[in-house]
Amino acid sequence: MLDYIIVGSGLAGIAYAETLLQNGKSFKVFDNHSQNSTQIAGGLYNPVILKRFSEVWNAKSQLELADQFYREIEQKLAIKLDYKIPIYRKFFSVEEQNNWFSASDKPKISPFLSTKIIHTKYNGIDAPFGYGEVLHSGYVDTVVLLQNYHNYLKNNNWLDENTFDYTDLQIFDTHIEYANLRAKHIVFAEGFGMHSNPFFKNLPLDGTKGELFIIKAPDLNLDVIVNTSVFIIPLGNNFYKVGATYHWDDKTSIPTKEGKQELINRIKEILNCDFDIVEHFAGVRPTVKDRRPLLGTHFMYKNIHILNGLGTRGVMLAPAMAIDLYDCIENEKPLDKTINIDRFKY
């Protein structure tokens, strides 16, 4: 008998699979790659909400766990994932500078905000008021992570790429059965695909569509991540990842003309150099209105669980949330009430 079946192999599924491996548990992952929010994610990890200059929930502990998590995967798979690059928040006024300094005095945020205004000149960007530097930031190459971790799962016969059929799941008091497999537990980590899940489809997962570009800008000499109305991430060789849009009505993963034009307009507000659009992506982020993940055990079935709702901060949240869910299931450690699905009626 397996210890677990995991449904979904985006950031949440990968984080849970890795947590199981570190604890000597057996598992099988089911994923038909129908959801692509991880594939198109910016991959940023940023301990500060820059729109409001406020702290990210549990940022310090999440960053510590994420740093260890990605470092161990890099070593195991001999790949490069984690790029520790400062985020520069472009200031548009003296008032924004003052707000930055006020935020940097707050004890929970001060470790993450430099109090020195950066006046580095970058070709293609005018910044007369300078930049504020966010510390302990960077990005994870989620495309490389997905490709390599999926291959790792395949090579070890831990991945089944057939679409999961909920009607074939049999639930017993001591275990579940599916596709000739028996397991003690099943964890659903499907992202926006949760809306097709009969056990959890009534949870308030909104889903926020995002679109982003890969651009080429030979005259832009950027070696940091710049954040304004969009983020600009240097990928090397004059390529940059730029995003992202936020739309709440369209729940498809199809790039749109409207999203393209919105991104172009925002880029032109920042860059005064030429750029070419190399690729245009779209996906639906698994977001929740109260901006907290969805973790826990089904109210009727003690062996059916969920790990979802990581939203726009998946690369920071996934390792910590996987550990929290594992400790809840295996060690009966209560989940924080703000992330437990028991906070909702479903």
CATH number of the domain that residue 294 is part of: 3.50.50.60
Range of the domain at 25: 2-41+143-204+289-343
pLDDT tens per residue, the chain (346 residues)? 999 999 999 999 999 999 999 999 999 999 977 666 666 677 999 999 887 788 888 999 999 999 999 999 999 999 999 999 999 999 999 999 999 999 999 888 999 999 999 999 999 999 999 999 999 999 999 999 999 999 999 999 999 999 999 999 999 999 999 999 999 999 999 999 999 999 999 999 988 899 999 999 999 999 999 999 899 999 999 999 999 999 988 888 899 999 999 999 999 999 999 999 999 999 899 999 899 999 999 999 999 999 999 998 999 999 999 999 999 999 999 999 999 999 998 8
Task: State the CATH number of the domain containing residue 230.
Answer: 3.30.9.10
Backbone angles phi, psi at 85, to 5 degrees: -125, 135
Give the integer Cα–Cα distance in Å for 281 and 279. Answer: 7
> Could you give the count of Cα atoms lying within 13 Å of 213 in the half-sphere of its Cβ?
24
Which CA distances in Å does 299 have to 200, 204, 335, 342? 10, 16, 14, 8
* Per-residue tokens: 148: 């390599």
CB 6 within 8 A of CB 30: yes
Per-residue model confidence (pLDDT) at position 150: 96
**DSSP assignment, residue 334?**
P
pLDDT of residue 345: 84
First CA to last CA distance, the chain: 30
Residue 68: which of 56, 82, 48, 58 has the closest Cα? 82
Question: How crowded is residue 301: how many other Cβ atoms within 10 Å of its Cβ?
Answer: 15
Boundary of a domain, candidates 269, 285, 301: 285
Residue 32 in domain:
yes
Residues 150 and 277 in one domain: no
Both 259 and 293 in a single domain?
Answer: no
| Residue 231 belongs to some domain of the structure | yes
Last residue in a domain, options 252, 269, 285: 285
Residue 248: what pLDDT?
87
The b/e string for 230-263 (b: 16+ C-beta within 10 A; e otherwise) is bbbbbeeebebbbbbbebeebeebebbeebbebb
pLDDT computed for residue 37 by the predictor: 67
For residues 253 and 120, membership in a common domain is answered with yes
- Please name the residues in contact with 97: beta carbons below 8 A apart, sequence gap of 6 or more: 91, 117, 129, 130, 132
End position of a domain, from candidates 244, 262, 285: 285
Number of domains comprising the chain: 2
Do both 236 and 220 map to the same domain?
Answer: yes
Q: Is 49 a domain residue? A: no
Give, in order, the Cα–Cα distances in Å from 223 to each of 123, 233, 235: 11, 8, 9
Residue 79 forms part of a structural domain? no
Q: Is residue 75 in some structural domain?
A: no
| Model pLDDT, residue 312 | 86
Nearest Cα neighbor of 47 from 231, 315, 322 is 315
Does residue 279 share a domain with residue 180? no
- 293 and 199 within one domain: yes
- Asked if residue 77 belongs to a domain, the reply is no
DSSP assigned state of 163 = P
Residues 300 and 180 in one domain: yes
Same domain (yes/no): 11, 113: no
Residues 116 and 150 in one domain: no
Indicate whether 60 belongs to any domain: no
Q: Kindly state whether residues 215 and 276 are assigned to the same domain.
A: yes
Q: Are residues 114 and 177 in the same domain?
A: no
- Is there a contact between 339 and 294 (Cβ–Cβ < 8 Å)? yes
- The answer to whether position 119 is within a domain reads yes
Same domain, 272 and 214: yes
